[in-house]
Structure 1
Amino acid sequence: MSTYAQHLAQLQRQAEAALARCGFDALLIASGVEKYAFLDDRPYLFQPNPHFKQWLPLTNVPYSWLLLRPGHKPRLVYYQPDDYWHVPPSDPSGEWVELVELIVIGEPGDALDHLKVPGRLAIIGEADAALGELKPNNPTELLNILHFARGRKTAWELEQMRAAQQRAVPAHRAARAAFLAGASELDIHRAYLAASGHTDRDLPYSNIVALNEHAAVLHYQYQDASPPPQSRSFLIDAGAQVNGYAADITRTWSAGDDRFDALLAAMEQAQLALVDEVRAGVDYRDIHLSTHRRVAAILAGQGIVKGMSAEAIVAERISSTFFPHGIGHLIGLQVHDVAGFMTDDSGTTAPKPEGHPFLRLTRKLEPEMVVTIEPGLYFIPTLLRQLRAGPHAGAVDWDAVDHLARFGGVRIEDDVVCRAEGQAPENLTRDAFAEVA
C-alpha cells in the first residue's frame, strides 16, 4: 500500500472514531468558496479549508465537498465549471482518484443532492460555504479531536513537507545570490519566486525580504523597489508548498562586518543546539525558555550587555528586548498549524510561560510532530528605547547596539521532525540545503 493510501486509511479511521465518539453519523467538509472584495467583482486569493486538503492534494477547487461515512469510500463532489472567463479546475487525475467515489458537477448547487445522507451530520467549513439546509456547524468536540491528531504527521505528509523544503531551498540560495549582487528587496523577491516556481498567489505566506534595518521588523511587509546605498545584511523568511503542505525557512546573511558576523555565527551555533532539543517527551515551552538563556549568553558573550550573568539577563527580561517572539510553532497544512496549545484531544490547553505572550506552541513533543525552531536577536528601536529608559540601561554597550542596529537583526529558522524517544530529530531544512549543496 502506498504512503498516500495509508494516509487516507488513517484519516478514515480517525474520522470514524471521532464521529462515533461525538454522536454523528457522517462528516461533510466544504473546500470553501471564492470571496470577493467589498463592492467589487474581484475575488481574493482562494484559501482552501485545511480539513479538505488534508484528505486530497487539491488546493484550488472551490465549491467542492467531501462526504465521509463509516464503512464507505470518501465521496468527493468535485466542482468543475464549463468556464471561459477563468481556467477551471483540471480533470481529476492522480492516485487519489481511485481511492474516492468521484462525482463531478458543473454548478455549485448541484452538490446538494449528492451530500444528503440520513442521520446527524457534522459539517466543517466557513459559514459562507452553506448549501441549502447544509450549514456548517463545526462541532467543537469533533474539531478538537481532529485538530489534536493533526499534530502528528503521516509518512505521506512528511514526504510532502520534505518536497516543500526541496522547493524552497534553491530559492533561498537564489535570493542570497541576488543580495550579494546588490539587488533591491523587490528584485530579491522576484529571484526567489523564479527559483521556487511559485508566484505570489501560491506562496504559503507572504515573503519577508528585509535588507539592513528592515530585518528588525519581525513581520516586515514591504519590498523596496530600489536598493539601499549599501546592503549590509539580509534577512529572508520565505517558504514553499507542495500539495498544500508548507515549508517555513528563515536565513540571515551578511555582506561582511566583523561584529555582525560574530553575532551571526553565535546565533547559528545556538540555533543548531536548540534543534537538538526537539525530542519526544520534551515540553516545547522548555525549548523556548532555553532560547532565552542562549540569547542571554550571546548578549553577554558578545559584550552587548555587560556586568550581568546570562541568568540575570533573563530574569530581568532584558533578553525579551532582543528576542521578543516565540521560538516557533507547529507546521503542516497551515504555516502556523492548529492545536498548538492543546494537551489532549478534549480541548484542554497548556498555558504560555509567564511573561512570554507570543509563544504559539505549549505542547509536549511527540514523534512525527513537525515544529519550527527560529531563534532571533534583533535591534528593535521601540524596544531599545524602553530598555534605554529603564533601570538596566547602564549595563548595555550602546555603542555596540548602535553599530549592530544598522544590520537590523538575526533570525534562523529550520523545520524539524520530532522522532521516536531516544532518536535525534530530523532537520528537514538542513537536509534540503545539504542535498542542494
Structure 2
Amino acid sequence: MSLYRDHLATLQRQAESALARTGHDALLIASGIEKYAFLDDRPYLFQPNPHFKHWLPLTNHPHSWIAVRPGRKPRVVYYQPDDYWHVPPEAPSGEWVEAVELVVIREPEDAAKALADLVTPRTAVIGEADAGLPGLVPNNPELLLNLLHWARGVKTPYELTQMRAAQRRAVPGHVAARAAFLRGDSEAGIHRAYLVATGHTDRDLPYTNIIGLNEHAAVLHYQYQDERPPAEPRSFLIDAGAQVNGYASDITRTWVNADVAGHDEFAALVAAMEREQLALVDEVREGVDYRDIHLSTHRRVARVLREAGLVRMSDEAMVAEGVTKPFFPHGIGHLLGLQVHDVGGFMASEEGGVADKPEGHRYLRLTRPLQAGMVVTIEPGLYFIPTLLRRLRESPQAAHVDWAAVERLSRYGGIRIEDDVACRAGGEPPENLTRDAFAATA
C-alpha cells in the first residue's frame, strides 16, 4: 500500500471512531467558496478548508466536497465548471482518484444533489457557514472537531513526506534571498528572488513572507517590502516558507553582512543564538511538555544576554524578574502541518478543554506534551524593539542593562532562527526537517 493510501486509511479509521463516539452517521466536508471584496468583483485568494485538504491534495478547488461514511470509500464531489473567464480545475487525476468514489459537478449547487442521500439529522457537516447549500448546512459539531483536531497533531508518514518536500522547496529560496541581501538588493528584490527560486508566487505561499532589513527585523510580523535598499544593509531577517500538496514549511534565518567591517558584535550575537537554538531543537522529545521548552528558551536567552554583556544579572534573576521578555516577547513555536499555525495546540485532551499557557507567557501557541509524529517549530529570538525597551528603561532592572550596547545593536533590529522539527518515538533525537533540507542543498 502506498503512503497516501495508508494515510487515507488512517483518516478513515479516525473519522469512523469520531463518528461513532459523537453519534453521527456520516461526515461531509466542504472545501469552501471563493470570497469577494466588499462592493467589488475581485476575489480574495482562495483558502481551502484544512479538513478538506487533509484528505485530498487539492488546494485550489472551491465548491468541492468530500463525504466520509463508515465502511465505504470516501465520496468526492469535484467541482469542474465549464468556464472561459478563468482556467477551471483540470480533470481529476492522481493517486487519490482510484481511492475514492468520484462525482464531477459543473455547478456549485449540484453538490447538494450529489450528497442528498447522506444528509440526515445525524450527519456532521464541517465548513464555513457560507459554504452551505440548501439542505447542506455546516453544523461543525464541537466534540467531533476536537477529536479530529487532536488526532491531526500527529502526522502520518505520508504527511511527513509532504512536509520534507515543503522544506526542500523553501530552502533554495532562502539561499537565493541571502545572496540577494549580500549583493545589496531591496526587501522587494529579495522577496522576488525568493519567489523565483521556490517556484512560488504570492498567491500560493503558505503565509506572507517577512523580509526585514536592519531595524525592520525588530518588527515580529513585518508586513511591507521596501523597493529601495537601505544606504547600509547591515542585517537581514527572512521568515518564509513553501507548501507542497497543502503542507507548509516555516523557516526563519538571520544574516549579517560580514563582508563589511563593524558588524562583529551583532554577528557574535547571531552565533550565540544559533548555538542555543540547536540546543532547544534537541529538547524536542516524546513526552516533553512543550511549555517547558518555551521556559527553557528564556533561560537560554538570559545566558546570551549575560555573556554578551548586555545585562549584568544572573540568568535566574533575569528570568524571574522578566528581563528576558522585552528581548524575547513571543512563543518558542507552534504546531505545523496543513496550517502554518496548526490547530489543536491548546487542547487539554482529545475531547477538548484548554491546557493553560505558563503565567505571563500569553503568546505561546502550543501547550501540549509532545507526541511522536508531531511537527513543531523551534524559533527563539532576541530583538531590540523600541516600545519594549522603553518599558525596560522605566523599570527597576534598567540599571543592570548596558544601554550603550543596546543602542549600537538596535540598528540591526533583531535575530530569529527557526527550524521545523519532527518528534520521534522512544526518546530518539528529533528529525530536524529544515537542517536536513539545507544540508541536502549545500
Which TM-score bucket, shorter chain as reference?
Answer: over 0.9
Amino acid at match of 1:196: T
Q: Secondary structure at the match of 1:138?
A: coil
Q: Match for residue 161 of structure 1?
A: 163
* 2:64 aligned residue: 64
User: Which of the numbers 336, 344, 347 marks the counterpart of 1:339?
Assistant: 344
Aligned counterpart, 2:296: 290
Question: Which is further off, 116-125 or 150-159?
Answer: 116-125
Q: Structure 1 stretch 209-218 or stretch 256-265: which is displaced more?
A: 256-265
Q: Please name the residue that 1:273 is paired with.
A: 279
Q: Residue type matched to 2:316 in 1?
A: E
**Deviation sequence 1:333-357 (CA, Å, 0-9, x none):** 0000000011211102210000100
**SS of equivalent to 1:27:** strand
**Could you tell me which amino acid in structure 1 is paired with residue 430 of structure 2?**
P
1:355 aligns with 2:360: yes
Query: Does residue 172 of the first structure (1) align with residue 174 of the second (2)?
Result: yes
User: Match of 2:242?
Assistant: 240
What do residues 22-51 of structure 1 show as CA deviations (whole Å, max 9, x unaligned)?
000000000000000000000000000000
Would you say the 8 A contact 1:281–1:421 is kept in 2? no
Deviations for 1:391-433, whole angstroms, at most 9, x for unmatched residues? 1111000110001000000000000000002200000000000
Summarize deviations over 1:216-236 as a string: whole Å, max 9, x none: 000000000000001000000
- Corresponding residue to 1:302 among 305, 308, 311: 308
CA distance in 2, matches of 1:183, 1:233: 12
- SS of 2:347's equivalent in the other structure is coil
Helix, strand or coil for the counterpart of 1:371?
strand
TM-score, with structure 2 as normaliser? 0.98
Quick one: distance in 1 between partners of 2:272 and 2:300? 9
* Percent identity over paired residues: 73
Structure 1 unmatched ranges of 5 or more: none
Secondary structure at the aligned position of 2:252 is classed as: strand
Partner Cα separation in structure 2 for residue 284 and residue 339 of structure 1: 13
* Mapped pair 1:388 → 2:393: yes
| Matching residue's letter, 1:279 | R
Kindly indicate whether residue 220 of structure 2 is the aligned counterpart of residue 218 of structure 1: yes
Looking at structure 2, the residues matched to 65 and 351 of structure 1 have their Cα atoms a distance apart, in angstroms, of: 35
Instruction: Extract structure 1 runs of 4+ deviating beyond 6 A.
Output: none
Q: CA deviation at 1:89?
A: 0.7
Shift of 1:113: 1.1
Residues 1:255 and 1:109: Cα distance change in structure 2 (over 3 Å): same
What CA distance in whole angstroms lies between the structure 2 residues aligned with 1:138 and 1:268?
Answer: 43
Aligned partner (choices 358, 374, 378) of residue 373 of structure 1: 378
1:176 is displaced (CA, Å) by 0.1
Q: Secondary structure at the match of 1:319?
A: coil
Task: Write the letter of the residue equivalent to 2:256.
Answer: S
Q: Alignment partner of 1:19: what SS? A: helix
TM alignment of 1:93-242, pairs within 5 A: 93-116=93-116, 117=118, 119=120, 120-242=122-244
Cα distance, 1:310 vs structure 2: 0.4
Count, aligned residues:
436
1:77 maps to what in 2? 77
Alignment pair present for 1:311 and 2:313 = no
Residue identity opposite 1:57 in structure 2: P
SS in 1 for 2:203: helix
Instruction: In structure 1, give the amino acid aligned to 2:37.
Output: A
Shift of 1:111: 1.0
- Separation in 2, partners of 1:50, 1:364: 23
Residues 189-228 of structure 1 show CA distances to partners (whole Å, capped at 9, x for unaligned) of: 0000000000000000000000000000000000000000
Bigger mean CA deviation after superposition, 146-155 or 109-118: 109-118
What CA distance in whole angstroms lies between the structure 1 residues aligned with 2:279 and 2:248? 24
Q: Report if aligned partners of 2:119, 2:136 keep a CA contact under 8 Å in 1.
A: no
Deviation at 1:6, TM superposition (A): 0.2
| SS of equivalent to 1:318 | coil
User: In structure 1, what residue type is equivalent to 2:58?
Assistant: L
Q: Cα offset for 1:118?
A: 5.3
TM-score, with structure 1 as normaliser: 0.99
Q: Which amino acid aligns with 1:283?
A: D
Secondary structure of the equivalent of 2:291?
A: helix
